Amino acid sequence: MKPAGRIGVKEIAKMTNVSIATVDRVLHNRPGVSPATEKKIRAVIRKYNYQPNILARTLATRKTLKLAALIPAVSKETTYWQAPLDGIDEAENEIRQFGIAVEKYFFDLNDAQSFVRQARKILRNKADGVLLAPHFANDAETFSRQLADKQIPFVYINSDVPGQENLSYIGPHLYQSGYLGGQLADFIGGEKSTCLVVNISRIPDSYYYLLKKEEGFRAYFEGRNKVKILKTDIQKTDYPSIKKELTALLNTHKIDLIFVTNSRVFYVARFLEERGMEHIRLIGFDMIDRNIRHLEEGTIDFLISQKPREQAYRGILALYNKLIKGADVEKQCFMPIDIITKENYRFYTN
Amino acid sequence: MKPAGRIGVKEIAKMTNVSIATVDRVLHNRPGVSPATEKKIRAVIRKYNYQPNILARTLATRKTLKLAALIPAVSKETTYWQAPLDGIDEAENEIRQFGIAVEKYFFDLNDAQSFVRQARKILRNKADGVLLAPHFANDAETFSRQLADKQIPFVYINSDVPGQENLSYIGPHLYQSGYLGGQLADFIGGEKSTCLVVNISRIPDSYYYLLKKEEGFRAYFEGRNKVKILKTDIQKTDYPSIKKELTALLNTHKIDLIFVTNSRVFYVARFLEERGMEHIRLIGFDMIDRNIRHLEEGTIDFLISQKPREQAYRGILALYNKLIKGADVEKQCFMPIDIITKENYRFYTN
DNA sequence: CTGAAAGCGCTTACAG
DNA sequence: CTGAAAGCGCTTACAG
C-alpha cells in the first residue's frame, strides 16, 4: 500500500523520538509543539518528502464536508444549465465516498433577487466551500466578500468577476471564442460578405459578456477589409421581439452570415427557416437541444461550446482538492473552445 | 464518513449474528460459508443496499496492483505518442495512492517484432491489467489471446481489433472523423473544387485505418457531385519520397484542397510552403508540434484530433475501476472528434 | 464452516 | 508541551 520507500507518521515519530500525535500536530500546524521538536520533525518530513496517505486521512477524519453550488435553474428559455448540473452530480458521485456532500441552490436568470435570496440561504446553512455562477456581478461581489470574510473558499464558473478572492475561475475565454467565431465566419463566408452580429440579452444582465465576444469577432476581421459587419442588440428574449428586429434588418440589408453571441441562436435559426433564408450562414454558441436540431437541419453551421458540464465538474473537484488535500488551484482555468458541427456533435462531451 | 443511513460490515455481522470475517467471505464470494448463513447475509446486503467503503478496502488490502502499458515510442517521425504517455502518467499519479503502479513498455512503430518482444516481456513480468495500442493487428491478436487465457483484462486505445476479448476500446471513430473531414473541406472549398486525399503509410501497417478515414471523407460528398476526389497512397514516410509523389501529382492536376489522413500532414504543408502553393487548402490530423507550426502559419487550415492523452488516461482508469471496484466498463468508447484551428488550439486539451 | 484479533495509516479525544 | 489508546471500515492470517 505505502509505495516502497515511502514513510508514514509512524516512521517519522520513530526517527524523531516523539509520538505520532506530535507528528500529527506539526503536520496540521496545530499549536502545542515546542519549537525544537517541531524543527526536528519538519526536517524529517522534508528530507523524506513525506506524502500523507489521503485514504487513511479521509477514513480517520470523520468530518464530512458540505459544499454548496449556486447556479441558474434550467428554464424554458434555455436548458443550458442542465450541463453544469450534470457536472456537479458527476463530481459528487466521485467524491461522495470521501465524505463530501454537495447541496444545490438555483436562481432565476431573470431575477437578481433570487440570486441574493439563495446566497443568503447558503450563508445560513453554512458550507465549507461554494461553487457559483456569478451571473449578477454586483450581487455576486457582495456574496463573494461575505464568503471571503468567513474564509470559505469559492469558485466561479461560466463567467468571471475580476478582483475577487475567488479560489479559481473556470470557464470560457470570451474574447477568444468570439475571435474563433470570426475565423469560422471567414472560412465559410465568401469574399466580400456582410456579417450581422446579434446580441440577445436583457441589458445589462449578461450584456457585458456578449460584448466581449463581439469584440473578439470584430478583432479577427481587423485589417482584412473583406467583410462588412453590422450589429444589433435585441433586448427582449421572446421570439416575437426577435422576429421583429430581424425582419426589419433583413428587409433593409443583404446579409450573408449571422453570428449570434450566445445560446439563443436557435431563435435566429427558426426565423431563417420560417423566411426560407437558410442560405444565410449561421454561427452561434452552446450545444443545447434546440440548437442541435438546427445543426442537424443545416440551418446552423457552427456552434461554439465551452464544456459547461466540465466547468462545474472541475469546480467541485477544485474545492475538494483545496479542502481535503490542501492542494493549490489555478486561479484562472480557461476551457477549450470547441467547434461543433453536424458531423461531430454526436461524439462531443460537454 | 459513512454517509448517514449507510451500513458497514459490522452492522451486517450484528444483524445476521455472524462475525465480520464471515460477512467478508460472502462479500468476496470466497468459499467456506454455509448456504444458510450466506443467504441470510446476502439478504441483508440487498435490503440495505450495502456499498463497501473503497477507502477502507484499499487501505486494508495491502496488495498493490501492477498495470502494464504497451504503446509506440515517441520517434523523430512522430511525437504523437507523447500525449498518450502523458495520459498514462497523469492517471498513474491519481491512482498511485490507491496502490496502483503502471509499467510502460514501448515498441517501434516500424518494427512489428519490437511489439512482440515487449508483449512477451509483459507476460514474463506479470501484470494485473494491460493497456495497449494494437498497432500490428495480427501480433496484437496473439497477445490478446494470451492475456485472455490468463484472465488478465486489457484495453485497446487508438485503434481497435474487432472480435477480441478486450475489456474496452477507447479511441477514434475513424469513419466519422473522415466524414467530418469531408464536411470541413466542403465548408472551405469553393464550388466545384478538386480534392486530393493523401494516405502516407507503409502498407500494410496502419493503412487499413487510413482507408477508413478516406471512406468517410468520400461518403460525405456522395450525391453532391460538386467535388472531384483524387487520391494517392504514399508508401514511404520520408520527405523526399513524399515530395516526389506530390510534385508529380500537382504538375498534372489542379488541386484546391488536400486531405491528409494522418498526422503526417506537416510533410504536405512543408511541401506546399516550399512550392509557394499555400493557397491550396489543407486538412489533416493530430495536434503534434510540427502540425501546430503550420496551423500558426496558415498552411494547415484544420486539424482533427481525438484526445490522445485522454484515451490513455481513460484506459488506465478503466482498468483500475474494473480491478479495484469491479465496475463495469463500456466495451466501446469513441472519443470526441475535435476540430482544431489556429484560433482555438491554444486552449485545446488533448 | 466460523470467529477473535491484528493491522492498513491516519485522527481524535483524553490524560498528564 | 507530549503520549497512549481507541477508532475510521475494511482485509488477512490464524486458530479452532
Domains belonging to chain B, first-starting first, are 9-52 (1.10.260.40), 65-172+308-335 (3.40.50.2300), 174-305 (3.40.50.2300)
pLDDT tens for A52-77 read 888 888 888 877 889 999 999 998 87
CA A7/CA A16 separation, integer angstroms:
13
CA of A41: nucleotide with nearest C1': D2
Residue owning grid cell 482508469: B317
- Taking CB atoms and an 8 Å limit, are A1 and B59 in contact across chains? yes
B62: chain A residues, CB-CB within 8 Å: 1
- Residue A238 (CA) to nucleotide D11 (C1'), in angstroms, measures 62
Annotate A94-116 with b (16+ C-beta within 10 A) or e (fewer): ebebbbbbbebbbbebeebebbb
**Using beta carbons and an 8 Å cutoff, which residues of A are at the interface with B?**
1, 3, 53-56, 58-59, 61-62, 64, 96-99, 101, 173, 176, 179-180, 182-184, 187-188, 220, 301, 334-339, 341-344, 346-349
pLDDT the model gives residue B202: 80
Nearest CA in chain A to B53: A97
Predicted local confidence at residue B32, as pLDDT: 85
Which segments of chain A are extended strands (E)?
65-72, 100-107, 129-132, 154-157, 168-171, 194-200, 228-234, 257-260, 281-285, 302-305, 332-334, 338-340
What does residue A284 show for φ and ψ, rounded to 5 degrees?
Answer: -150, -160
Query: Nearest residue to nucleotide D2 when comparing alpha carbons to its C1'?
Result: A22
CA angle B255, B261, B264 (to 5 degrees): 95
Q: Which residue is nearest to nucleotide D3 (CA to C1')?
A: A19
Q: How far apart are CA B264 and CA B275, in angstroms?
A: 18
Predicted local distance difference test score (pLDDT) of residue A224? 81
Inter-chain CB proximity A176 and B96 less than 8 Å: no
Q: What is the pLDDT of residues B65-80, one digit of tens each?
A: 899 999 999 988 788 9
The confidence score (pLDDT) of residue A208 equals 85
Report the distance separating Cα B320 and Cα B318, nearest Å.
Answer: 5
Taking the CA of residue A61 and the C1' sugar atom of nucleotide D6, their distance in angstroms comes to 14
Selected for mutation to probe chain A from B301, B333, B347, B348 (highest A CB count within 10 Å) is B347
Output the pLDDT for position B3.
58
With CA atoms as reference, report the closest residue to B259 among B308, B209, B223, B218: B218
Q: Do A348 and B336 touch (CB under 8 A)?
A: yes
Residue spans of chain A under pLDDT 50: 1
Mean pLDDT of chain B: 91
Nearest one of A314, A297, A318 to A350, comparing CA atoms: A314
Give the nucleotide with minimal C1' distance to the Cα of B32. C1
Q: What is the pLDDT of residue A73?
A: 96
Size of interface A-B (CB pairs under 8 A): 104
Nucleotide nearest to B11 (CA to C1'): D9
Judged by C1' against the alpha carbon of B57, the nearest nucleotide is D10
Distance CA B300, CA B285 (A): 10
Mean predicted confidence (pLDDT) in B90-98: 87
Give me the mean pLDDT over the B111-137 stretch: 94
Residue A135: exposure state from Cβ atoms within 10 A (0-12, 13-18, ≥19): buried
Distances B5 to A67, B2, B11, B43, B342 between C-alpha atoms, Å: 20, 8, 11, 17, 53
Could you check whether the bond before residue B204 is cis, i.e. omega within 30 degrees of 0?
yes
Contacts of A30 (CB under 8 A, 6+ apart): A24
Output the nine-digit C-alpha cell for A103. 447541496
Which amino acid belongs to residue B295?
L
Report how far residue A147's alpha carbon sits from residue B41's, in angstroms, rounded to the nearest whole number. Answer: 47
Judged by CB atoms closer than 8 Å, whether chains meet at B187 and A187 is answered as yes
Amino acid at B127: A
CA of A209 to C1' of C7 (A): 57
Residues of B with CB under 8 A from a CB of A: 1, 3, 53-56, 58-59, 61-62, 64, 96-99, 101, 173, 176, 179-180, 182-184, 187-188, 220, 301, 334-339, 341-344, 346-349
Asked whether the bond before A134 is cis by omega within 30 degrees of 0, the reply is no
For chain A, the distance separating the N- and C-terminal CA atoms, rounded to the nearest angstrom, is 35
pLDDT of residue A3: 58
Residue A203's pLDDT is: 63
Q: Helix axis angle, B174-188 relative to B207-221, nearest 10°?
A: 50
- Please report which confidence band the pLDDT of residue B4 belongs to, taking 50, 70 and 90 as the band edges: low
Closest to A132 (Cα-Cα) out of A91, A71, A81: A71
Per-residue DSSP letters for B202-259? -TTTTHHHHHHHHHHHHHHHTT-TT-EEEEEEE---SHHHHHHHHHHHHHH---SEEE
B341 beta carbon to strand C: under 7 Å: no
Of A96, A180, A338, the CB nearest to B343: A180
* Full strand arrangement of the beta sheet holding A332-334: A100-107, A65-72, A129-132, A154-157, A168-171, A332-334
Name chain B contacts of A180, Cβ cutoff 8 Å.
Answer: 341, 343-344
Residues in chain B closer than 8 A to A62 (CB atoms): 1
Separation of CA A42 and C1' D1 in angstroms? Answer: 17
Q: Nearest by CB to A341, which of B59, B173, B183?
A: B183
Distance of C1' in D5 from CA in A56, Å = 18
Which residues fall within 8 angstroms of residue A129, CB to CB, at 6 or more apart? A65, A67, A68, A152, A153, A154, A155, A319, A320, A322, A323
Residues lying close to strand C (Cβ under 7 A), chosen from 222-261 of chain A, are none
Share of chain B above pLDDT 90, in %: 71
Q: Is the CB of A138 under 7 A from strand C?
A: no
The confidence score (pLDDT) of residue B29 equals: 87
**Do B339 and A343 lie within an 8 Å CB cutoff?**
no
Question: For residue A70, how many other CB atoms are within 10 A of its CB?
Answer: 24
Mapping DSSP to helix (H, G, I), strand (E, B) and coil, where does residue B86 land? Answer: helix
Alpha-carbon gap: A53 to the closest alpha carbon of chain B (Å):
7
Q: Looking at residue B5, what is its pLDDT?
A: 65
Neighbouring residues of A312: CB distance < 8 A, sequence distance ≥ 6: A69, A71, A83, A84, A85, A86, A87, A88, A91, A131, A157
Rg (CA), chain B: 25
Cβ density class A77-91: b for 16+ within 10 Å, e for less: ebbbbbbbbbbbbeb
pLDDT at A205: 66
Give the CA-trace dihedral at A176, B346, B314, B96, to 10 degrees: -120
Cell readout for B314 is: 481513460
Is residue A300 helix, strand or coil? Answer: coil
Residue B53: pLDDT band with limits 50, 70, 90: confident
Provide mean pLDDT across the span B162-185.
96
> B130: which strand partners?
B68, B154
A18 SS3 class: coil
∠ CA B203-B208-B212, rounded to 5°: 140
> CA angle at residue B176 from B173 to B179, to 5 degrees?
155
CA A185-A190-A192 angle, to 5 degrees, is 100
- Find, among B261, B280, B183, the residue nearest to B227 by Cα: B183
Question: Residue B338 and residue A338: Cβ atoms within 8 Å?
Answer: yes
pLDDT at B205 > cutoff 80? no
Which chain A residues touch B61 with a CB distance below 8 Å? 1
pLDDT in tens, B284-306: 999 999 999 999 999 999 999 99
What is the C-alpha separation between B102 and B86, in angstroms, rounded? 12
Would you say A168 and A330 are in contact if contact means Cβ atoms under 8 Å apart? yes
Give A335's contacts in chain B (Cβ within 8 Å): 347
Segment B83-109 shows an average pLDDT of 91
Find the Å distance, CA of residue B308 to C1' of nucleotide C9: 36
Assess whether pLDDT exceeds 60 at residue B2: no
Choose from A186-190, B223-227, B278-282 the range with maximum mean pLDDT: B278-282
Amino acid B320 reads: Y
Indicate the residue of A3, A99, A337 with minimum beta-carbon distance to B1. Answer: A99
